[in-house]
């Protein structure tokens, strides 16, 4: 990548540029670099569309970005190759790519998974999942992958074990915010979970050390580290201090 000049380009894009250049086995010229920068500024999660992921032609060393990304069917989405290092979701037929979460994100998700398992697994209330897809709608298809999810034993018994994605939302869906998540995007996800049958949605913000609790479209609360999360709508007896998610107490 001898011709790749990163001067004036945000540091957050450096590794992304290197990945693109390596994938193309060529250097990126200045025009291509700034085009990539603009694409990530428009939407840092979705600069590459499903067309190039499937092998579309490259222009100036970069994938061609479709101004109107193609819609895909559920079967086509399932057949897509692994999106590593991106996590692939499907939003109303449109493939969405999100970078792999970082250390702080993963640490909070790990703590919460352990708390939920302690409150549910040994008592037979259900199971805790992470990085598992849920088919929220079929037409157009929407598949979301919450960072942490709880599904009751009753719900699990209703589904075939060979299903690729579990139909409907988890009883409790948890999303841990990353720096690139926008407020409108994450609120949209929360409402999707509720509309698909979730009893509770928790949006965890590691930077602000808050949890936004969604019980219904008109029942939304923001809790701080001194507050207590009430998860009994999903898991009987579940109450947890918000501070525990952030290593306090």
pLDDT in tens, the chain (249 residues): 334 444 444 555 455 445 444 444 334 444 444 444 444 444 444 433 333 333 333 333 333 334 566 899 999 999 988 766 788 999 999 999 888 788 889 899 999 999 999 888 667 899 999 889 999 999 999 999 999 999 999 999 888 777 889 999 999 999 999 888 888 889 999 999 999 999 999 999 999 999 999 999 999 999 999 999 999 999 999 999 999 999 886
Task: Give me the residue label for tokens 């700034």.
Answer: 34
Cβ atoms < 10 Å from Cβ of 180: 13
Cβ atoms < 10 Å from Cβ of 216: 11
Say whether pTM exceeds 0.95. Answer: no
Cα 243 from Cα 180, distance rounded (Å):
23
Cα 20 from Cα 10, distance rounded (Å):
16
Beta-ladder partners of 229 = 240
pLDDT of amino acid 68: 61
Q: Which domains does the chain have, with CATH numbers?
A: 11-99 (no CATH), 103-245 (3.90.1570.10)
Task: Determine the straight-line distance between the first and last CA of the chain, rounded to whole angstroms.
Answer: 48
- Provide CB contacts within 8 A for 111, sequence distance 6+: 244, 245, 247
Q: Is the Cβ–Cβ distance between 108 and 172 less than 8 Å?
A: no
Cα 84 from Cα 126, distance rounded (Å):
29
């Amino acid at each position: 990548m001898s011709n790749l000049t990163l001067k004036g380009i945000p540091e957050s894009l450096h590794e992304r540029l290197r990945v693109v250049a390596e994938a193309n086995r060529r250097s990126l010229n200045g025009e291509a670099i700034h085009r990539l920068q603009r694409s990530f500024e428009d939407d840092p999660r979705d600069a590459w569309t499903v067309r190039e992921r499937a092998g579309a032609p490259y222009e100036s060393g970069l994938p061609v970005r479709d101004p109107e990304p193609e819609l895909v069917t559920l079967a086509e989405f399932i057949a897509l190759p692994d999106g590593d290092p991106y996590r692939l979701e499907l939003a109303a037929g449109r493939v969405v790519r999100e970078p792999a979460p970082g250390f702080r994100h993963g640490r909070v998700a790990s703590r919460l998974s352990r708390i939920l398992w302690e409150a549910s697994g040994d008592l037979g209330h259900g199971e805790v999942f992470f990085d598992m897809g849920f088919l929220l709608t079929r037409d157009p298809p929407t598949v979301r992958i919450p960072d942490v999810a709880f599904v009751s034993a009753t719900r699990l018994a209703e589904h075939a074990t060979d299903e690729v994605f579990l139909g409907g939302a988890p009883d409790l869906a948890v999303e841990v915010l990353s720096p690139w998540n926008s407020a409108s995007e994450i609120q949209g996800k929360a409402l999707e979970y509720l509309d698909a049958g979730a009893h509770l949605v928790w949006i965890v913000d590691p930077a602000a050390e808050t949890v936004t609790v969604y019980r219904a479209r008109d029942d939304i609360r923001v809790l701080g580290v001194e507050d207590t999360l009430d998860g009994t709508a999903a898991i009987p007896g579940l109450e947890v201090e918000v501070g525990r998610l952030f290593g306090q107490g």
